[in-house]
Amino acid sequence: MATIADLRRLVSETKPEEAAEMTRALLEAALDPMEILEKGVMNGLSDVGDRFAAKKAIVLDLVRAGVTAKACIPLIQDAFPEGEGTKNDKKIVLGTMLSQHNIGKNLVSTLLSINGFEVIDIGEKNSPWDFYEKAEESGADMIAVSVVFAPAMEKFTELLELLKELKVREKYPVIVGGAVTSKHWAETEGADGWGAQAKDGVTLAQNLLGTA
Ligand code: B12
């Protein structure tokens, strides 16, 4: 019988077709989609990341890992239960700071959307100014930043400083998450919230924007 550990292994071995097939099998066996995502896909990605950090994998393996994750995640997302929150009028600008890594950002986007928020997804490789400009243009209520690459941490701090300089810091609650971040770091920098998981983005948004 297929197990989540099998999926983790296939993601870690960066085998997109087989991993997608295994994902289908696990969903058909009625396993929890969130568990398939976290323990299968994400842990498999972390295994590749760990090998890369230990110089036992190359950038091409990261690329293949991304492709493998993207073969599985849409299948899992289709199985997410409908969100509990009804549609609200809150808009959230969401993007990655500097980096190309968009898998986590896309998950945050999906979960916010199914929980009733309007997501203005500004994509990848954004600068502090991009976040500010898109928030102003769209009349956003909050800014959510995905930081998956160490150099982006400094840029996140610059975003908070920019918002202060432009006297709009109070206007936009700013939340952050991503593989290289931590609660301690986010609090020290002055973020309004930090999430370890994409689903935490929903709780933070509900609490900060008063839709809970
Ligand atoms: C796949 C991958 C890639 C793919 C990404 C494909 C894509 N379309 O996204 C590609 C090939 C592009 C890539 C490139 C690089 N990568 Co890379 N990559 C990874 C890998 C293996 C997985 C990333 C991922 O998608 N994880 C799964 C997602 C779901 O996790 P996540 O983004 O953290 O998101 C979750 C939570 O953090 C949270 N979350 C995320 N954002 C937010 C936001 C909010 C508001 C909230 C509440 C929550 C939240 O929710 C998500 C789900 O629960 C990681 C290893 C790892 N452990 O993560 C390395 C990793 C991130 N990469 C790394 C590096 C070094 C690079 C490169 C510099 C390599 C190089 N020499 O070229 C380049 C950088 C390119 C660039 N300029 O951006 C390092 C970063 C180290 C560091 N300290 O900065 C890592 C950690 C690997 C390692 N251990 O060394 N990479």
CA of 47 to the centre of ligand 1 (A): 12
Residues with CB under 6 A from ligand 1: 42, 45-46, 48-49, 52-53, 59, 62-63, 65-66, 69, 99-105, 107-108, 144, 146, 148-150, 175-180, 195, 197-198, 200-201
CA-CA distance, 199 to 123, in Å (whole number)? 19
pLDDT tens, residue by residue, 18-27: 999 999 999 9
| pLDDT for res 114 | 87
pLDDT attached to residue 1: 82
Tokens of 136: 């102003």
The pTM for the full model equals: 0.94
For residues 64 and 114, is the Cβ–Cβ distance under 8 A?
no
Between the alpha carbon of residue 118 and those of residues 60, 108, 112, 198, 205, the distances in Å are 35, 12, 8, 16, 11
Q: Which atom of ligand 1 is nearest to the CA of 178?
A: 37
pLDDT band at 212, cuts 50/70/90? Answer: confident
Q: Which domains does the chain have, with CATH numbers?
A: 4-78 (1.10.1240.10), 91-208 (3.40.50.280)
Distance 75 CA to ligand 1 centre (A): 20
Q: Give kind and range of the element (H or E) at residue 94.
A: strand 91-96
Give the pLDDT confidence of 55-114 residue by residue, as tens digits.
Answer: 999 999 999 999 999 999 999 988 987 765 578 889 999 999 999 999 999 999 989 998
Tell me what pLDDT residue 208 has: 97
Indicate the average pLDDT of the chain: 95
CA of 24 to the centre of ligand 1 (A): 24
Question: What percentage of the chain reaches a pLDDT higher than 70?
Answer: 99
Question: Burial, 53: exposed, middle or buried (Cβ in 10 Å; 0-12, 13-18, 19+)?
Answer: exposed
* pLDDT at residue 83, rounded to an integer: 63
